[in-house]
């Protein structure tokens, strides 16, 4: 039985502890290697000194002779060697972990990546942008930054980051030039599988820790670069003659460098063993998940076949490739014939496994890029092979429901936008509660089809607005405008008093387009803007957050979407602009989370039900799902379910262990589905709560999507 999202997260955490253990086991081996070299140098020096003394001193002295040999065990030397080695290795690991703290963009820049211009007109870059957008919507994760390794013509890619809020997707120029859309989609699906399997965070920690084992090798490179070199001179000038002293100094430096390289090779060897032990099997898991995600194995298998046939293969020529070798789609350094130190399984083995997945016994050979491009434009959205072009229709929405006037700052269940007609595959009246969380962190084919339909249905000005910081902020403002005319006019007056004329023009542009969009599209639309919003300056970010807070407070209440949006902005943007402590696992029982569970489940119960009695019944179902009937979790009145209380509750629950998050999300689903169904507005709220708990949920789509498209 395949592992679910929460089990895979726990497995990733176990692998993280395994990395630390292997690292601690490697340290004594590195110390021993350094000591062996050190004692060899010490013994050789002592022998040379003894010989010199016997020839030039003792011949004129009656003192006893000097011993030519020393003991292999020198405790004082060992202590110095151990201390210095641990200092170098530990310091190198701490330095790299701090360097990687900002997220995946650091890795992309270290390897020479260039951020993709989202206003590009190049077809191959547009194809990549569209594929990543669809993958983000389908997986329920924020849109990442995209980087391209311009001078790398091997077929490779990677994803890096600590969380979905700071991740970056990077592909080589070779991928853009040589892969078809289906093949590129297979590669990106593989990388997104690493995100959802917990591998991305694991790989960042691995990269930081193992860097310490490579530090001695890097030190050897630095030492050997310190040789006495000829100084710069004018063209036609006389070459400088190097003295014998300089030659001796060079020789001594080279000897030291070679010795350090030997020691460093030992550390690098153990570093490669650690990377290989952790990453090889994860590649098979990512391949399997990518096949489920992208519908069929041909795209991924053909991409791997092109890697095998390409003259450049998947080699990354950056001098920093060794540090990141375990995060690549395929082996990024020279093919390692020693399986123990190889970070990736053999290509033939990966291809064979993919070809036999999902009942496929044969995958056709990949077509050349030119032949594929002749039959289909590379920058169009996702297309089913058997389906014709789809219409650009919009999506359905529920009628706006009235709500009682609440107290200031309370949580209400108001909808915001009317909707229009819908594509058949995306229309649904509700979702079975039992299936609500079945796809947490496990997107499949129907989610990708939904994402492609959604992206195709978005008006082009709205779609382009998600890629530019200034237009993205205006789009967020428009999404926050109230459906009540008097409140909306007050919000617009507030914005126009604070914004520039260009920003006001953007507001007017998006007003007409957003009016036709429904509630289901708003959360995915917000997720698409995050990559653009992260490019704001700190003053722009501060003004943006102040404006969104003012818009939310304009009607003295917080609706479902406003609550979700506010939390998502804080979670995915604030770490970019301010130092924010990362949540750690602190809670292992619900007894420590009774206050948080009471506040959030009470708010959900009252947001999803029409009467207080129905809300209490839904709340009791949630408590029963937590298996805590009669515990400290209490039903709270609506007046006590303030925005701040819900914020604090989600912050506490974000620090819960994965099994507790699984149970709590199931309780949330039972709460909002007390009638056995989850309505679209409640589904999007559930997705927002799961996002706050770092459990991305793909869009709620009927299983009949694949049959009706």
Q: At what angle do helices 298-309 and 181-196 cross, to 10 degrees?
A: 100
Other Cβ atoms less than 10 A from the Cβ of 55: the count is 9
C-alpha to C-alpha distance for 594 and 589, rounded to whole angstroms: 9
Burial (Cβ within 10 Å: 0-12, 13-18, ≥19) of residue 456? buried
Give the single-character DSSP code of 429.
S
Strand arrangement of the beta sheet that strand 157-160 belongs to: 114-115, 145-149, 168-172, 157-160
Three-state SS for 253-313 is HHHHHHHHHHHHHHHHHHHHHHHHHHHHHHHHHHHHHHHHHHCCCHHHHHHHHHHHHCCCC
Query: What is the SS3 assignment for 149?
Result: strand
Whole-number Cα distances in Å, 292 to 24, 53, 438: 37, 76, 14
191, 562, 682, 684: the active-site residue = 191
Give the single-character DSSP code of 376.
S
- Confirm whether 360 is a catalytic residue: no
Other Cβ atoms less than 10 A from the Cβ of 9: the count is 23
Q: In this structure, are residues 201 and 694 in contact, taking their beta carbons and an 8 Å threshold? A: no
Question: Closest by alpha carbon to 112, among 287, 365, 262, 320?
Answer: 320
Chain centroid to Cα 306, Å, comes to 26
Q: In this structure, are residues 691 and 165 in contact, taking their beta carbons and an 8 Å threshold? A: no
C-alpha to C-alpha distance for 521 and 474, rounded to whole angstroms: 17
Q: Catalytic site residues?
A: 191
């Amino acid at each position: 039985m395949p592992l679910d999202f929460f089990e895979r997260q726990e497995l990733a955490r176990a692998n993280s502890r395994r990395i630390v253990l292997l690292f601690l086991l490697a340290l004594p081996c590195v110390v021993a290697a350094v000591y062996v070299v050190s004692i060899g140098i010490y013994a050789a020096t002592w022998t040379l000194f003894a010989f010199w003394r016997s020839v030039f001193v003792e011949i004129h002295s009656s003192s006893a002779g000097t011993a030519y040999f020393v003991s292999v065990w020198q405790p004082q030397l060992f202590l110095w060697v151990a201390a210095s080695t641990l200092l170098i290795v530990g310091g190198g690991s701490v330095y790299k972990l701090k360097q990687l703290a900002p997220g995946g963009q650091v890795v992309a820049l270290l390897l020479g990546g260039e951020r993709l211009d989202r206003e590009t007109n190049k077809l191959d870059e547009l194809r990549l942008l569209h594929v990543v957008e669809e993958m983000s919507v389908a997986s329920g994760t924020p849109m990442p930054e995209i980087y391209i390794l311009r001078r790398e013509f091997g077929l490779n890619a990677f994803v890096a980051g600590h969380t979905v809020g700071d991740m970056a997707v990077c592909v080589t120029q070779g991928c853009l030039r040589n892969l078809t859309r289906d093949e590129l989609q297979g590669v990106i699906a593989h990388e997104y599988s690493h995100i959802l399997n917990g591998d991305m965070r694991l790989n960042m920690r691995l990269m930081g820790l193992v860097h310490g084992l490579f530090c001695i090798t890097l030190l050897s490179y630095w030492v050997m670069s310190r040789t006495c070199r000829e100084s710069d001179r004018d063209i036609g000038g006389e070459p400088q003659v190097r003295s014998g002293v300089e030659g001796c100094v060079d020789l001594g430096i080279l000897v030291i460098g070679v010795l350090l390289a030997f020691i460093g090779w030992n550390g690098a060897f153990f570093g490669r063993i650690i990377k290989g032990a952790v990453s090889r099997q994860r590649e098979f898991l990512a391949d399997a998940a990518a096949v489920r995600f992208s519908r069929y194995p041909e795209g991924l298998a053909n991409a791997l076949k092109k890697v095998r046939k390409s003259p450049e293969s998947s080699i990354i020529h950056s001098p920093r490739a060794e540090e990141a070798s375990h995060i690549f789609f395929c082996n990024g350094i020279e093919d390692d014939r020693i399986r123990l130190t190889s970070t990736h399984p053999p290509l033939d083995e990966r291809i064979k496994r993919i070809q036999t997945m999902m009942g496929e016994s044969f995958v056709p050979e990949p077509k050349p890029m030119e032949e594929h491009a002749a039959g289909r434009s590379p920058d169009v959205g996702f297309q089913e092979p058997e389906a014709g072009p789809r219409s650009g229709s919009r999506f359905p929405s529920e009628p706006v429901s009235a709500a009682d006037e609440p107290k200031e700052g309370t949580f209400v269940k108001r909808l915001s936008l009317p909707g229009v007609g819908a594509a058949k595959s995306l229309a649904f009246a509700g979702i079975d509660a039992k299936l609500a969380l079945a796809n947490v962190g496990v997107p499949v084919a129907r989610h990708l089809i939904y994402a492609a339909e959604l992206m195709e249905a978005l008006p082009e000005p709205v779609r382009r607005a998600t890629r530019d910081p200034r237009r993205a902020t205006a789009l967020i403002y428009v999404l926050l405008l109230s459906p009540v005319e008097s409140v909306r006019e007050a919000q617009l007056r507030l914005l126009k008093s604070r914004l520039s004329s260009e920003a006001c023009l953007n507001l007017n542009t998006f007003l007409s387009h957003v009016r036709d969009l429904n509630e289901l599209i708003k959360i995915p639309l917000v997720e698409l803007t995050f990559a653009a919003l992260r490019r704001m300056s700190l003053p722009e970010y501060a003004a943006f957050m102040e404006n969104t807070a003012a818009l939310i407070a304009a009607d003295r209440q917080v609706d479902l979407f406003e609550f979700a949006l506010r939390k998502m902005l804080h979670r995915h943007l604030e770490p970019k602009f301010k130092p924010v402590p990362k949540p750690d696992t602190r809670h292992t029982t619900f007894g420590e989370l009774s206050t948080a569970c009471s506040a959030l489940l009470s708010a959900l119960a009252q947001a999803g039900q029409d009467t207080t009695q129905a809300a209490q019944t839904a709340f009791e179902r949630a408590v029963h799902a937590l298996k805590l009937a009669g515990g400290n979790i209490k039903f709270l009145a609506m007046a006590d379910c303030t925005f701040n209380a819900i914020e604090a509750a989600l912050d506490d629950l974000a620090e819960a262990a994965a099994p507790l998050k699984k149970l709590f999300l199931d309780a949330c689903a039972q709460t909002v589905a007390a009638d056995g169904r989850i309505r679209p507005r409640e589904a999007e709220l559930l997705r927002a709560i799961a996002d706050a708990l770092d459990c991305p949920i793909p869009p709620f789509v009927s299983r009949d999507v694949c049959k009706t498209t």
